Amino acid sequence: MKIHEYQGKELLAKYGVPVPQGRVATTPDEVETIAREIGKPVVVKAQVHTGGRGKAGGIKVGKTPEEAREVATQILGMDLKGFTVEKVLVEEAADIKEEYYLGITTDRAARRNIVMVSKEGGIEIEVVAEENPDAIAKLHLDPAIGLQDYQMRQLGFDAKLPKEALRGMGPFLKALYNLYLDYDCSLAEINPLVLTGDGKLIAADAKVVLDDNALFRHPDLAQYQEEQEDDEIEAEAHKRGLTYVRLDGDIGIIGNGAGLVMTTLDVVQREGGRPANFLDIGGGAKAETVTTAIDTVLLDPAVKGIFFNIFGGITRGDEVAKGMLEAIATMDIKVPIVVRLTGTRAAEGLALLEGSSLVGAATMQEGAQKIVELVNAG
Ligand code: GDP
Ligand code: MN
């Protein structure tokens, strides 16, 4: 479960870390009131589950309460990478001199937690990792030893943090580490950790992802769970009873069986395509399910084509074919659809599809190649 920045900061504050003074608001009126209370320039920050909010226009400074209100009207209700902004965090604006990165996550390959520190804060760590990998100091943690003071010093030193940040950074990293362990996180980041003009350190952002399987151990976070807004399309898909995960590509994927769908994602990726989602319609899918599945995949405006990969076992090929024909007859589908149908009643199914606008494929590989070609051709 992802939690919002303001919630992450609430957790950090519990661990004694300085976070800017502020509160959450849902209307420009409230924003103005909070700004007046703070009595200093404020920063108004969109609370949505995506990074890069600054660049996308979701973070703005208001020097006066009136200006805070003005920027709040711009941010509240805006679409930020597919999320509608319903809440903003209003807090004292930081006087930023430098921005650093602190993060902890699980390195599955190493089977350890990994701590990362970088002088290149304020931009996504994935970007730093790609463009300037040497700028990230890393350390795998031995679970029996944890995170020791000397290790933190070493990390700060390796990351070439300036003197004024070296010592002060320790408590932030320690808090992040304790929070990470206590709350069964899979990611905990402070990005940026800000060095202010007067030489203070402050956690200007907090990103925390909790392991869903461990949520039952944290009844104190039930409130966060309630406030959590899923991806809108995922929420809708789950309402419709579909197993759907949104991804960031442009090829819609529909299949029956989690393993088959996972494989389809890999094969499409290998052919140079970028899957837009995972959607498993399960066994014994009837025509209606197929229509719903197509409709759901097309909720994502990024989708430029759909690859249907059906292995007929319990699911009958002719049922699926009927569903597809129904879908294309009743819906205004503007993207190409490639269908790979095999197994039970595949021949009957493919026969039904003949003469329609659907593109048949004999194998998964061929289907993946065809959809990638069609999507690339526009
Ligand atoms: P993210 O882009 O979604 O990770 O949001 P962040 O909270 O990390 O903010 C992005 C950027 O906005 C930061 O790196 C800063 O450059 C800027 N920013 C955030 N808070 C403040 C602030 O209080 N004052 C000023 N001047 N800039 C800020
Ligand atoms: Mn950030």
Closest ligand 1 atom to the C-alpha of 45?
Answer: 7
Distance 262 CA to ligand 1 centre (A): 36
- Determine the pLDDT at residue 134: 96
Instruction: Give the residue numbers annotated as catalytic, written as ranges.
Output: 101, 189
Arithmetic mean of pLDDT over the chain: 93
Identify how many contiguous H helices and E strands the chain contains and give both numbers: 13, 18
- Determine the pLDDT at residue 230: 63
Ligand nearest to the CA of 61: 1
* Mean pLDDT, residues 364-373 taken together: 97
Tell me which DSSP letter residue 221 carries: G
Bridge partners of residue 254, in order along the sequence: 308
Please say if the pLDDT value at position 229 is more than 60. Answer: no
Q: What residue ranges in the chain does DSSP mark as E strands?
A: 22-25, 42-46, 59-62, 79-80, 83-84, 88-92, 96-107, 112-118, 136-141, 185-196, 201-203, 207-210, 243-246, 251-255, 277-280, 305-312, 337-343, 359-361
Distance 34 CA to ligand 2 centre (A): 22
Ligand nearest to the CA of 58: 1
d(CA 21, CA 72): 18
* Mean pLDDT, residues 354-369 taken together: 93
Chain mean position to CA 32: 30
Q: What percentage of the chain carries pLDDT values higher than 90?
A: 77
Protein residue closest via CA to atom 9 of ligand 1 = 54
Ligand nearest to the CA of 83: 1
Ligand nearest to the CA of 103: 2
- Determine the pLDDT at residue 285: 67
* Mean pLDDT, residues 335-361 taken together: 91
Taking each helix axis from N to C end, the angle separating 317-330 and 287-297, rounded to the nearest 10 degrees, works out to 50
Mutate to test the pocket of ligand 1, among 96, 187, 191, 202 (most ligand atoms within 8 A of CB): 96
- In degrees, rounded to 5, the angle at the alpha carbon of residue 81 between the alpha carbons of residues 75 and 86 is 40
Distance 299 CA to ligand 1 centre (A): 31
Protein residue closest via CA to atom 12 of ligand 1 = 54
- Ligand 1 pocket at CB < 6 A: 43, 45, 51-54, 59, 61, 93-94, 96, 99, 122, 191-192, 204-205
Please say if the pLDDT value at position 227 is more than 80. Answer: no
Protein residue closest via CA to atom 6 of ligand 1 = 205
Confidence grade of residue 315 (pLDDT, cut at 50, 70, 90): confident
Distance 206 CA to ligand 2 centre (A): 7
Confidence grade of residue 270 (pLDDT, cut at 50, 70, 90): very high
Confidence grade of residue 226 (pLDDT, cut at 50, 70, 90): low
Protein residue closest via CA to atom 20 of ligand 1 = 204
Angstrom CA distances, 23 to 29, 30, 60, 65, 66, stand at 13, 10, 15, 14, 17
Please say if the pLDDT value at position 317 is more than 80. Answer: yes
pLDDT in tens, 77-127: 999 988 899 999 999 999 999 999 999 999 999 999 999 999 999 999 999
Distance 122 CA to ligand 2 centre (A): 6
Mutate to test the pocket of ligand 1, among 12, 45, 205 (most ligand atoms within 8 A of CB): 205
pLDDT in tens, 162-206: 999 998 999 999 999 999 999 999 999 999 999 999 999 999 999
Distance 282 CA to ligand 1 centre (A): 43
Whose CA is closest to 51, among 163, 148, 126, 142?
126
pTM of the model: 0.70
pLDDT in tens, 17-72: 999 999 999 999 999 999 999 999 999 999 998 989 999 999 999 999 999 999 99
Surrounding ion ligand 2 within 5 Å at CB are: 191, 205
* Mean pLDDT, residues 333-355 taken together: 92
